Amino acid sequence: MGRKVGAEYLKNDTCQFTVWSPLAEKVEVVLKDRNEPVSLIKDTQGYWEAEVPEVPPGSLYKIRLDEEDEFPDPASRSQPEGVHSWSQVINHYSHDWQDQGHESRNLEDMVIYELHVGTFTSEGTFEGIIEKLPHLEELGVNTLEIMPIAQFPGDRNWGYDGVYPYAAQDSYGGATGLKKLIEVCHQMGFSILLDVVYNHMGPEGNYLSQFGPYFTDKYHTPWGSAINLDDKYSDHVRNFFIQNAIMWLEEFHFDGLRLDAVHEIIDRGARHFLKELSEEVDALEKKTGKHYVLIAESDLNDNRLVTDYSKGGYGLEGQWIDDFHHAVHTLLTGEDAGYYQDYGKAEYLAKTFEQGFIYDGIYSKFRKRRVGNSPKGIAKNKFVACIQNHDQVGNRVLGERLGQLITFEEQKLAAGTLLTSPFVPLLFMGEEFGETNPFRYFISHGDPELVKAVQEGRKREFEYFDQKAEEFPDPQSKKTFEESRPNWNFKEDQSKNTLFEMYKLLLKMKKEGAFHLFGAEDTQTKFDEENKVLQVIASDKETNLMGIYNFGKMPFRVTFSAEKKGEILIASADKKWLGEEEFPKERIKETEVPPKSFMIIKI
């Protein structure tokens, strides 16, 4: 399973320190409450280690390199004083886990709810999330996905600027608060996933390069030099991140990981890092008897991510499909700036319903090249789809959610399109009641020059969008952070509460298999491009199922044969959902699907 790194508390106030620094001549542990440093012993692979007595949990320490500079431990489990200060020894074994009855859940059975710990509740902590679990239970989701929690600078950040991947953010409650959240989730029947970042490290407090060649200049990413996964010394860099994944799964009992932007994990070796990670997690499954899921985020539309090892794939359980989001979003909003210019057709929504990827080798106007490969043969429930997520909301100029961009009827249409689709659904916090507060990009860096660089960089990112510079929210401002919290008084608003009730029913129906036929490989689609209408038709020996999604401005008429009448399972334009129609409960020969609405019919 590889080599553990960091400070591992053993017992009787003894701690094992292990630091990888292959080019150093001397490595010492400096304990805050001792006058003399402790020398570590180097092995042939560049690991320095020693068992050190009289180091109780809570001890603060740094790593001294070559008798000069002192830095926090790259594999620190706790940074109670921030990213530039002392690391802390914690006792992993002190938590008496009470989640033994929790059963692993396959990806295909998950309904995922993405949340940001800092803004999800007013407390902004791991334990603060616990009070909202009854709401999520009522909603019908069964899996939480928390945005990255690796220690980052300050106390406001999306999490993708983390610099200590082994340390749970201290301002969120650290390892203790995180374990309590996971335990309660498991006791209530929730699975919980962690978003991890193995493609870059944040800029502030990132001292990895002081310890060794963790980065390579062979490749560059949007964040600078790439993490070294195939250059000299890369075996041990790979081990650093794989051991991190194993820690979250084994020590913290996470049910799986969401792997951020894997297209920027650059590895040209014969055994790709993602395959090695997947194989190591397979080995952990055999060791623990538990099942874990690995879900990749990628903009490459590459089927290798979820293809079996035997067919040359990486063997991950699932991957996000941005194509679905973009197809729905552009039909609803009409937006065509930036990458949205590649979408906006009912034909494309039909294609993603059929197979997941729209860009399966076809030409992209935005990228000015062909994108993707064929997903043929890949089960649709290996794809995770959404109509909102942290990126697609927060990376807008003003961080507007769908609730700010489209009408109430269109919000119901969007929800129905997602939750009746054959994919694993992912909801973004507050989506279920049409939250209108924005979710914006925010930071709390301590370096003024870095703050300025981020502020200017965010403006450059939106060169494709028409926005005045003075309208950009300041990512460093606490106000930007505070405005990104959901408003939990949604039940006082009739339309928001009605949307919540529709989400509840759709999720209940989905779990009961009402829409499972749409996952069949031979599902048929028809589209009316002029009127922006999609029909999805699937059948088995006993049942025909039809979904009609009307994104246009005119009603769409549906007629059935005399022998096969239709039963409306759900119609978003019904008065029950604050629509203007009252549809019959008996079986029908024909009906109309109003504009900006969807209808599911069993035939």
Nearest to 108 by CA among 48, 191, 203: 191
> Residue 599 CB: number of other CB atoms within 10 A?
26
> Token pair for residue 69?
């500079």
Pick from 477, 547, 480: nearest CA to 509? 547
User: For residue range 260-304, what is the model confidence (pLDDT) as tens digits?
Assistant: 999 999 999 999 999 999 999 999 999 999 999 999 999 999 999
User: Known binder of ligand: residue 259?
Assistant: yes
Residues 238, 3: Cα–Cα separation, whole Å = 11
Residue 455 has a pLDDT of 82
Dig out the tokens for 291 from the structure. 């099942």
342 in a known ligand binding site: no
Query: What's the pLDDT at 453?
Result: 87
Residue found by looking up tokens 């334009």 in the block: 573
| pTM check: above 0.95 | yes
Tell me, what's the pLDDT at 560?
A: 86
Q: Where are the domains of the chain?
A: 6-94, 524-602
Q: C-alpha angle with apex 391: 437 to 182, nearest 5 degrees? A: 85
At the topology level of CATH, where does 524-602 sit? Answer: Immunoglobulin-like (2.60.40)
Can you tell me the distance from the alpha carbon of 209 to that of 76, in angstroms, rounded to the nearest whole number? 15
Q: Is 391 annotated as a binding residue?
A: yes
Which residue blocks in 24-82 are alpha helix, DSSP H?
Answer: none
Asked if residue 201 lies in contact with residue 162, where contact means CB atoms within 8 angstroms, the answer is yes
Catalytic residues: 260, 297
The C-alpha atoms of residue 511 and residue 595 are separated, in whole angstroms, by 27
92 annotated binding-site participant: no
The verdict on whether residue 106 carries a ligand-binding annotation is no
SS3 351: helix
Q: How far apart are CA 312 and CA 134, in angstroms?
A: 43
- Is position 395 annotated in a ligand binding site? yes
177 assigned ligand-binding residue: no
C-alpha 174: how far from its chain's center?
20
Residue with tokens 């180091």: 55
262 assigned ligand-binding residue: yes
Q: Which two tokens stand for residue 151?
A: 């220690």
Interatomic CA distance for residues 599 and 549, integer angstroms: 7
So what CATH class is 6-94?
mainly beta
Strand, helix or coil at 135?
helix
Residue spans of the chain under pLDDT 50: none
Closest CA to 326 of 335, 317, 318: 335
CA proximity to 384, closest of 104, 138, 145, 115:
145
322 annotated as belonging to a binding site for a ligand: yes
326 is in an annotated binding site: yes
Residue 461 to residues 240, 454, 458, 542, Cα–Cα distance (Å): 31, 10, 5, 52
Alpha helices by DSSP H, listed for 300-430, are 322-333, 346-355, 390-394, 402-405, 408-419
Residue 237 near residue 226, CB atoms below 8 Å: no
d(CA 126, CA 119): 11
Has 95 been labeled as part of a binding site? no
- The pair of three-digit structure tokens given for residue 220, joined into one six-digit string: 């560059």
Quote the pLDDT of residue 469.
52
472/76 Cα distance (integer angstroms): 35
Contact assessment for residue 168 and residue 151, using Cβ atoms and an 8 Å cutoff: yes
Read off the amino acid at residue 324. Answer: F
337 is annotated as contributing to ligand binding: no
User: Residue 565: exposed, middle, or buried by beta-carbon count in 10 A (0-12, 13-18, 19+)?
Assistant: middle
Distance between CA 21 and CA 191 in Å, rounded?
37
Please check if 323 is assigned to a binding site. Answer: yes
d(CA 310, CA 473): 49
Is 43 one of the annotated binding-site residues? Answer: no
Type of residue found at 308:
D
Q: What is residue 467's predicted lDDT score, i.e. its pLDDT?
A: 53
Read off φ and ψ for residue 227, nearest 5 degrees: -65, 135
258 belongs to an annotated ligand binding site: yes
pLDDT of residue 464: 57
HSE-CB for 436 with a 13 A CA cutoff: 13
